[in-house]
Structure 1
Amino acid sequence: MDWIERIAGIRRWTRGGERAPHKPLLLLYVLGRFQQDGNRPIPFSAAEAELRKLLKEYGPPRDTSPGYPFHHLTSDGLWLVDTEDGPGSPGPELGRLRASGASGRLHPDLARAMSEEPGLVARIARFLLDANFAPSLHADLCLLTGLDLETLETGGQTRTSATARRDRAFRERVLMAYEYRCAFCAYDGWLDGSAVGLDAAHVRWWAFDGPDDLGNGLCLCAIHHKLFDKGVLGLSHERTVTVSARFVGRSAAARELVLSLAGRPAQDPQAGLDAVEPRHIAWHGRQVFRTPARLP
């Protein structure tokens, strides 16, 4: 059985070309849970808040209930819902899902195939991401759903242990610590109640033993995160922003967004919360930042 074809054929609500990624978002969430816990039943009461957040941030602008994909995915032969009274979904209404103690799990045939076929989870996840979301959203989606594609695609040969997992709470901890503002430029955009264009950047990269700790995190806007990871921007031991002398930008935008940052103090986290540790700043300076630094 070709499970990718089965997943490509899931039935979706359509009207005038509107996006309807509700079932793909549920599947990505379930794949993350499968990677961590196998095919244990997922109570709706445990999934509701996380599905609501995913639908709000990555679904279409109109509001959608998390009960919609939890119930309707059962029609595609990939997902089973049971209640305290027996098999079968009680419907998409939130009250009935909660009151009935509804829980969901992958169809046993799909779960068995993913357990027996190395790489199938990653291939399904990549298909769902590519078919439904812009590439710039993939990393955050994996983090929020608990999917560690790097480990899945390399057979667990990343990090120091195959059991290492990304901390899904890292992003929220870092953004909260910096009060949802870029530590370099103070950008603080929101859309419909959610921060937009802000990332939790690892100073020492996670792939190179950088922990998911506040002392290794910076809240950065998307452009400064990219430039930080490319070595255009860095941090001094005094926590001022460094700009690589190798960077060339002649436009007013380049001067304002990048060159003007040289020597500017980076924002500190809220009082009482951990600032970036010197050892992680030193690693980034040795391994990522493109020396020399420009003079302020």
Structure 2
Amino acid sequence: MGLGDIRYEDIIAATDEFRRLGRDDFLQTYGFGRAMSYELVLDGLRYDSKAIVGVAHGYATDDFLRPKDFSGGAATVARCLRELGFVVENGEATTLSRTGLLERLRTLKVSRGPGSPAPSRHQPLTLLWAIAREADERPRMTPWPRFRDEVGPLLVEFGLSNAKATPEYPFWHLRGSGLWEVHGIPAESAKKMPMMSILDAHHPRAGFTEEAAALLGDPVARLDAIATICETYLEDVDLQALFERIGMDGYTTAGSLLNLAEDEGSGAGPAPRRDTTRSVIVRDVSLARKVKELEDDRCQICGTALRYLDRPYSQAAHIRGLGKPHHGPDELQNLLCLCANCHVLFDGLEIYVDADGLVRGARNTREPRPLRRAPAHPINDAHLGYHRDLCRINARRPTTG
């Protein structure tokens, strides 16, 4: 069965339906599997080429082809698309990797306002907001009304001072990053950015593609993405305030500091109490004892050997914090033996261990000194790198006091 009846506009109609339904629903509706090799690349997005051509044939002739009706590959589907002026690439060679994710984040097509050399913050802020949802294990796709109500005020608070808060722009135009998709826009309204009335009427959903979301489900890749966005686009933003605003305040510590609340009582009489229900992480106390034993209860950073009630006193500190959002492992390779002072500084991201094993101040306020390591105490350098990235992100936060 020939493909010669397919026109340019039929391919566009098929890609519009692909975006509107989403990849999985589109493929299931027409009985296709994911592309094993060739993909159509259009406006930064990738499409399963054989499925697109089969559906486009239906738009052209009312005969929607099924996979068994025609063969795919360079001589058929890829040739048809290229002759119509489309770009076709080998999908096996272009699967999104962590490196590819970070490169796409660095090269967002952000606009610049008249008279302002600074890039717009709309897309970067929206991506951080979406990453916060991913870290909190919330649904990948967000309906337009919720997106508008949450992202709109965020753009007002942290966007450029001369920029308008237009959440509809990142909602739609982030598709150009290849990391974002929008579902629920009628095909006839998806040829250009829909008007607000269309968004309000149809309540479309937007969010990371499944591939991007899968990568961001890894805490290490997620931290790399956060650092890339902040360092590329948000140099002058108060990141601590931003993180607290979008629910990413877990990234302002290494994960173990307690936030002690101010006194809530009137100051007279017994302190008030309240009932709570908590879910707590169960730590392996034998690992804490082991790291203290290996390091002889001496702080690996400052060398202090404390005694309390005539007994050695030290603390086991996780390098990459347990629980959300860091999800570090409870293992010996993720533990340091520290004194109470250095533990607070380490968890508070005021000090870190560089790639050469030197302890440095995050604000360049102290002389570097080697991290002590007992020969029998293994330390995973990847965990130290994760903690180092956290310190790098937070190094610009304002001091208090």
TM-score scaled by structure 2?
0.37
Greater gyration radius? 2
The TM-score with structure 1 as length reference comes to: 0.49
